[in-house]
Amino acid sequence: MNTALIFSEELSRFNYGKDHPFKPIRAHNTVEICERYNLLARPWISVIRPRMATRDELCLFHEDAYISALEEVEKGNFDISMLAYGLGTDDNPLLDGLYKWCLSTTGGTLTGIELLNQGYDRVFNLIGGFHHAGPASAEGFCYVNDVCVAIHELLREGRIRIAYVDIDAHHGNGVQDAFYEDDRVLVISIHESGKTLYPWGGFENEIGQGNGLGYNVNIPLAKGTDDEIYREVIEEIVRPLLKAFSPELIIAQIGADTLISDPLTHLRLTNNAYRFAVHALLDASPKLLALGGGGYDIYRTSRCWTLAWCEMNGIEPEDTYAGIVGGMMFGPEMEMGSLHDRPFFTTGEVKEIAWEEARTACQYIKNTVFPIVGVR
């Protein structure tokens, strides 16, 4: 097994603004934890800087005029017409170094694809997974959709069985729209329901169309969904679909904003369910490219990403400084004394509603999608 962690200290210091919830510093915190738990100094592990994408690579998915607008922002130019591209909003502010940031974050994901092609088995690009951006629009903290660029590159190379699995609490609308009519890409998104969370879509009846009918799968979850419900959804829907589709590789957006403490979402997961989901993805394909995605409780997100890295490498985290001042009482572990969360279960009417909505969505998928994909 060969694995790679894609990381740039420079990218982790990129600043969306003091009051903006998206904090790239999560990547730095993750690497810091991994180093303290001795999760990087192994003979099969590489830590690799992302390369920069080219303009032409961005245009594998994005419209030329939109990329030109991003270049103008880089030069310090702005006019009111850029608002039509979603640039200059509260979610997607105009930032110094923005175009270089887009080239580098997309380049990190393309680096991951290249590493898989070179024989690596599992790659984790910490600052990637910008799944909301459209061909000509910035949206939801995402300026350039590195996922879509990477999948288009894989299709250009002749890959025909690519699975994209998104466990971020927010529906991956940009990726869904890009491949809604394409049966070469199986898109699966498990997310908080669009009834209660941006981007207000991703319902179970959105199953693709044309050639892509049955190859777009959404599992919307109600507020209060906990680990127990989440694990059942993975066992009942995600595992059978991936087994039937048998992808050459999986690209996974493993955002950690499903956690109970996340300030922007309403699910109630612990990182035990998160780790279970990552393990299921590893079971489904020998090749995995994981992308960081969301997560707005920055310390718990770093904890999740560290546990995901443990899963990718078959390592159990062990803090060699436990019991020493500064040992376990490091930022992400201060509450728990461990990388793992305590179990938590929703109860009462909230749990009943969450079960009902999850099972309704699952049954719809079994009735409509399973026969198309060939789930037995």
ω into residue 199 within 30 of 0, thus cis?
A: yes
Alpha-carbon distance of 95 to 151, in angstroms, equals 27
Per-domain boundaries in the chain? 3-373
- The helix or strand, by DSSP H or E, that contains position 218, with its residue range, turns out to be strand 216-221
Q: What is the pLDDT of residue 186?
A: 98
Q: Are 139 and 86 in contact (CB under 8 A)?
A: yes
Q: Convert 230-254 to b/e letters by CB count within 10 Å (16 or more is b).
A: bbebbebbbbbbbeebebebbbbbb
d(CA 332, CA 172): 27
The sign one gets for the Cα dihedral 277, 280, 282, 286 is negative
The pLDDT, as a whole number, for residue 173 is: 98
Q: How much is the pLDDT for 327?
A: 43
pLDDT (0 to 100) of residue 321: 60
Rounded Cα gap, residues 7 and 125, in angstroms: 7
pLDDT of residue 338: 76
The pLDDT value given to residue 320: 61
- At the topology level, CATH places domain 3-373 in Arginase; Chain A (3.40.800)
Q: Along the 376 residues of the chain, how does pLDDT read in single tens digits?
A: 999 999 999 999 999 999 999 999 999 999 999 999 999 999 999 999 999 999 999 999 999 999 999 999 988 898 898 999 999 999 999 999 999 999 999 999 999 999 999 999 999 999 999 999 999 999 999 999 999 999 999 999 999 899 999 999 999 999 999 999 999 999 999 999 999 999 999 999 999 999 999 999 999 999 999 999 999 999 999 999 999 999 999 999 999 999 999 999 999 999 999 999 999 999 999 899 999 999 999 999 999 999 999 999 999 887 666 544 444 444 445 455 679 999 999 999 999 999 999 999 999 999 999 999 999 8
Distance CA 267, CA 225 (A): 5
Instruction: For residue 212, give the DSSP letter.
Output: G
Instruction: Please list the active-site residues.
Output: 132
Strand order of the β-sheet with 216-221 is 45-48, 3-6, 122-125, 288-291, 249-253, 162-166, 185-192, 216-221
